[in-house]
Amino acid sequence: MSGIKVKVIHGDAFQVKADTLVLKYAQATYGLDGDIERAYEELGKSISDRLPKIGGYLFLESNNITNTKSIIFIGVTTLRQFGYKEIREFGRKALVSLASSDPTIQTILMTIHGPGYGLDEVEAFESQLAGILDSISSEDYPNNLSEIIFVERSLGRAERLNKVLDGLFPKLEIPTQKSGGFKTLKENSAETLRSAGYGSDSKKRIFVAMPFATEFDDCFHYGIQGAVNACGYLCERADLQSFTGDVMNFVKERIASSDFVIADLTTANANVYLEVGYAWGLNKKTILLIKDTKDLKFDTRGQRCLLYSSIKDLECKLKTELINLNL
């Protein structure tokens, strides 16, 4: 007996064909969930007053807004409080809610939660998968479920997370109780999924201050995140585009709760310097990175910086620095 197929694809959630699209509602709408809410509004079928409170859900016919037959909103805590443990619970709650809403569902379409507003990409994805496995292990999911599709707008992230998926489920199938359950997983995969979300708080968290620009994407994902994750730490940042209101308070919260700060001073971005100053004010240990020393401004000229020439050079030097620091 085979398990439930799972994959990550690069695409548009509006276009991918499936039985149902799963969305979170973090007590306000942001990206895709906001687009869906507005689409219902344009059809004259406003759902704003029906969106679920924490722990609840709203199951709807899609009305051809998406290429799925139905859409379900899962009520979760506010985005600022939506951490790894909450992502795991969201994954579980999604399948449990669908089991009671439409047990005939065969294919589920989901997006990946966490990385878009700064959580560690791998830890967030593993937490969501762990929640899904929780539901499947307790046999509280749609009876006919055969496939779960994660759709991701970023091609790079889709490729990176497919590698994570392949490492956890080499056959790209989530085992059901009938197909052997947890015991069919490799020991390291089983341990990862048992602790994901629940054990995240015990891991060291590194906050990364750097410009949010396309040209820095590879620098972050492959140069910084690769080194940080290789040392067993969570790599987080704050995507200011995901929030409204006083975003600086959110950044301060992230820095204050981190164990360490890494700051890339390349291009002398004003926000990055502000974040470094705040970290120093809290006496946070900080690693400064720079690609060209001509970019250094103010008091950072007298500070030690890791000078890097390429992404691979950055990954190697940063990994060595982190090992030597022994956080």
User: Which of 122-126, 142-146, 266-270, 311-315 comes out lowest in average pLDDT?
Assistant: 266-270
Between CA 166 and CA 5 the distance in angstroms is 12
Position 14 scores a pLDDT of 97
Q: How confident is the model at residue 137 (pLDDT cuts 50, 70, 90)?
A: very high
Torsion angle (degrees, nearest 10) of CA 101, 103, 106, 110: 30
pLDDT, position 64: 96
Burial category of 193 from C-beta neighbours within 10 Å (exposed 0-12, middle 13-18, buried 19 and up): buried
Residue 283's SS3 state is coil
Please list the alpha-helical segments (H only) found in the chain.
32-42, 84-101, 121-137, 155-168, 187-195, 217-218, 225-230, 247-257, 270-281, 311-325
pLDDT at residue number 295:
59
Which pLDDT tens digit goes with each residue over 252-306? 888 999 999 999 988 878 888 889 999 999 999 999 998 876 756 655 555 778 8
The larger pLDDT score, comparing residue 109 to residue 297, is at: 109
Most confident of 176-190, 274-288, 302-316: 274-288
Nearest residue to 60 via CA among 91, 79, 31, 39: 39
* The residue count for the chain: 327
Q: Which of 50-64, 154-168, 228-242 has the lowest mean pLDDT?
A: 228-242
**Are 106 and 147 contacting, i.e. CB atoms less than 8 angstroms apart?**
yes
Task: Quote the pLDDT of residue 301.
Answer: 53
- pLDDT in the model for residue 296: 63
More confident residue, 293 or 112: 112
Interval 35-42 mean pLDDT: 96
* Per-residue model confidence (pLDDT) at position 239: 65
Rg (CA), the chain: 21
User: What residues pair up with 60 in beta bridges, in sequence order?
Assistant: 71
| Cβ atoms of 100 and 57 closer than 8 Å | no
Percentage above 90 pLDDT, the chain: 70
Look at residue 116 in the predicted model and tell me its pLDDT.
83
* pLDDT tens digits along 193-246: 999 999 998 999 999 998 877 788 889 999 999 999 999 999 998 765 555 556
pLDDT digits (tens, 9 = 90+) for 68-108: 999 999 999 998 899 999 999 999 999 999 999 999 999 99
The fraction of the chain above a pLDDT of 70, given in percent, is 94
Q: Sketch out the chain's domains with CATH numbers.
A: 4-200 (3.40.220.10), 203-325 (3.40.50.450)
In Å, what is the CA distance from 81 to each residue of 26, 86, 117, 235? 9, 8, 12, 17
Give me the pLDDT at residue 195, please: 93
**What's the rounded Cα separation, in Å, for the pair 119 and 221?**
12
Reply yes or no on whether the pLDDT at 324 is more than 90.
no
